[in-house]
Structure formats: structure tokens, C-alpha cells
Structure 1
Amino acid sequence: MPGAKASTDGSRADVAEVVRTHLRDIPDFPTPGVVFKDFTPLIADGPAMKTLVMDIAGRYAGRVDVVVGIEARGFILGAAVAYELGLGMVPIRKAGKLPGQTLKESYSLEYGHAEIEVHTDAFEPGQRVLIIDDVLATGGTAEATAALVERAGAHVTAIEVVLELAFLGGRRRLGGRDVNAILTV
């Protein structure tokens, strides 16, 4: 947990172990029967967060032009990775949260329906985009984000997540996209 040794030799397995040791399970959140994977201890531990950011940035240096962070926890990691790469970060927000002209994308959730948006001028045509989020579950949010980025004229280079819940099948929903997870459970 916080204070745990976070330096690694740079292997993905070592970074996955840093993530694994900093995750905590919160039962019955946000609804009964759900076990929420909380990565707050990871972002609260400076060396662990640095290990994660450096790993992701190292994988995409020179391959992307802009980073997209998905609301809300994708903002935290996305901003840190963008900073390390010397790039900008574009937020993908829940509908109604961005001022000015936006593009919207609707998608289905396990328990309902949601909509996300991005500013119409967020990307230059053809920009190479790295999408970052904390968790890949059913894939609905990542799929909608990729569709929104492409509708805005950019190209999705990869989708990077801290944790993939493989039993929910989100990767299948994303088809042939380059999807990378630090840790898969």
C-alpha cells in the first residue's frame, strides 16, 4: 500500500505488481454485489504513480500527438502521462459538462444509458491519440470514446488502461483496436 517500494526494472510485469499491490477492493460499491477496484492508494503513492506514468509514457513516446483522459479517473493518469510526453491532454466529459460546441456520443451501460462529449475543436485532423482510463470493464465507455475521437477527425493509436476486468469482455467489444492493460484480472 502507500509507501510500498515502487521502483522497477521497467518490465511490464513489475509495473503490474505495483498496480496490484496498490489496488483495494471496496465491496458493495457503488451498488450491492459489486466489488469496486479502488486505485486511490496508487495515485496517493508518489513513487508508485511515477512508476506507472513512466511506463505508459515510455510505451507511447513518439507514437502519439495527444492524450485523451476519460472522466473522471482517466483525467488523473492522462494528465500525468501527457505532461511526461510533453503533449496536451483532451478531456472526454459526461454530457453537459463542457462549455461551447461539442460532439456527443451515446452508449449503453450495464445499468442504463450514458453520453459523453468533447469540444468540436479538440483535435487537429489526423492527430494520433492515446486514450487513457483507469478500468476497462464492459468496454462501453472506451468504445464510445474511440468513436467520438474519430468523429472529431483524429486517429486512435491505442487505448491504455490500468486495470482490465477480463470477465466482463470489454476487449472483445473494441474489436481490433490496440488495447493495453497494465493488470488484467
Structure 2
Amino acid sequence: MKNQFQPLFNRLSLSDLFQEKIREIPSLINNLKYRDIGDDASFNESTKKIKNEILLSPVIIGEPKFVDYEYERNYIHEISFPYEGDRELFSYTPDNFSYLSSDHGIIVPTYDDSITIYVELSEISPKKAVDEAKSLMRLTIDLAEKNYEAISNWNYAIEKRIDNDLEEKRNELERIFGD
């Protein structure tokens, strides 16, 4: 069992993801039919669908938990970091994200709800293993925290844009198809 660190130098820019998402908005809104927004319930459902498609759920990494250990010349401790948010965000870095060349890289989750770290120690020590896992996860946690700030600000602005664009589309379709 080995930790799979990935380098940061080949990560895409978070601003590229933002631009990609922004380019999707007109298509999603302009493909709405009158039946999708004619009454309040339909309008609210369409709004929810579009926001779910466009807005990003920032990654929040929880507290690590000791899971298990096994012996292979030394004790290999398995530590799990639960997280929530969009897994794809581990592929992006915010603008001006800095790191040291000595950093291990980041660990991308292999499962949808946790990141697993393996720590090798000469003794069974869950506390030491958790402390070492936190150290190994430092860059991944930094990345998630920096992305969180950028994504929260972006979501706020884009949500307002979606609301405005949807209201304009609703008014346009009501003028054309309304009673």
C-alpha cells in the first residue's frame, strides 16, 4: 500500500473551470421551454437544475480517522480523511497557488467520500500515524482551502447571474407564449 501523490505542476487552472462553466449557462437557459418556467413550481425546479449543473460544491476535508493497520516489515497504518464537495476540484489549482518543491504533491481521492493515507511506523501508534498523515496531507488540505475561497466567491456571483438570466428568459417566454 503506497500513497499516490500527484504533482501540482500539471493541474488545470481553477479560472479555466470557471470559464468553462460560464460558457454552459447560455445553452442551459436558452434551451428552456415555456413549460419549464411558465409556473412558479416549474421555474423553481428549472432554476435548481441549472444551478446544480453550474455551481460548484467546494471541497471540505474533515478530521482524519484511524481505520486499520497491518504488518509488512513495519506497521502500515491506514488513515481516512472524509471529505465533501466536487471530486473534480482536486484537478484544479487557484491562480497564484504556491507550494515548495519539497512538497510531496497532492493525494486525489480514490473513493467518493474519503482520501486514504498510509503511514508506515515501526510501532502500532494510531496517534502518531494520524499526525504523520496530516503532515502528508498538508498540500492537499491547502489546495482545498484555497479553492474553497475562490469557489465561494465565484458561486455567489454566478448564482446572481443565473437568477437574472433566468428571470429575463422567463419574461421573454411569457411575452411570446403567455396568456
TM-score under structure 1 length normalisation = 0.26
Q: Which has the higher helix share?
A: 2
Larger Rg: 2
TM-score under structure 2 length normalisation = 0.27
Q: Determine which structure has greater relative contact order: mean sequence separation of CA pairs < 8 Å that are 6+ residues apart, divided by chain length.
A: 2
